[in-house]
Amino acid sequence: MVSITDTISLIMNSEDAMKIIDLRSDTVTHPTPDMRKAMADAEVGDDVFRDDPTTIRLEQKAAELLGMESALFVSSGTQGNLVALLSHVQRGGEVLLGDKSHIYLNEGGGASALGGIGYNVVNNDSRGMIFPEQILDAIKTVDVHHSRSSLVALENTHNVCGGLPLSAADIDSVGEVAHKNNMPLHIDGARIF
């Protein structure tokens, strides 16, 4: 059986390579000359002193688009997830998430290694959804003998499950169960735009 990586490699090295756009990940793309010029010409300032007008405008625009009070620019989706998990879950707590989620499969156990956060893993369906019933079954009662269920995490759109968006109704149903059980809902939105 030929892997997807081998197939892509064969295509990319063929005469038709100029017709192929590799969308596997933003990590395999390169900026165009115009993009490099825009970066070089961008108005910048010191980030520590919050003097970078470009970053400030980007954060304000992201907050506005998402209906949030504020936003924080970070260097990667993995870093964004880590910041969110460390903000919501105390050391020794756990996040409920899907078995095919990027946080669980592809982020090096960062939340566990850096924050002492456990993973309580439930099965994703073919779209990447985890369902309210699964969450209810996975929530641990408050007990000194195990970690506290502290956060529910969804991924939208879902990387491993084909990039299909979850519906607002799906997300709302999970959020409702999470909130009724005193847990926030984190959405890994690395591909939200």
CA angle 65/57/51 to nearest 5° reads 150
Q: What is the pLDDT of residues 125-155, one digit of tens each?
A: 999 999 999 999 999 888 888 999 999 999 9
At 81, the amino acid letter reads N
What does the pLDDT read at residue 10? 64
Domain ranges of the chain: 4-66, 77-188
168 pLDDT more than 90: yes
What does the pLDDT read at residue 29? 84
What is the distance between the alpha carbons of residues 96 and 89, in angstroms, rounded to a whole number? 11
The CATH class that applies to domain 77-188 reads alpha beta
One DSSP character per residue, 51-111 reads --HHHHHHHHHHHHHHT-S-----S-HHHHHHHHHHHH--TTEEEEEETT-HHHHHSTTHH
CB 123 within 8 A of CB 98: yes
CB 191 within 8 A of CB 130: no
- Tell me the backbone φ, ψ of residue 148, rounded to 5 degrees: -95, 130
What does the pLDDT read at residue 8? 64
Number of H helices, E strands in the chain: 8, 4
List the one residue out of 144, 145, 137 whose CA is nearest residue 120: 137
pTM: 0.81
Cα–Cα separations (whole angstroms), residue 145 to 34, 66, 154: 57, 38, 26
Residue 171 confidence class, pLDDT cut points 50, 70, 90: very high
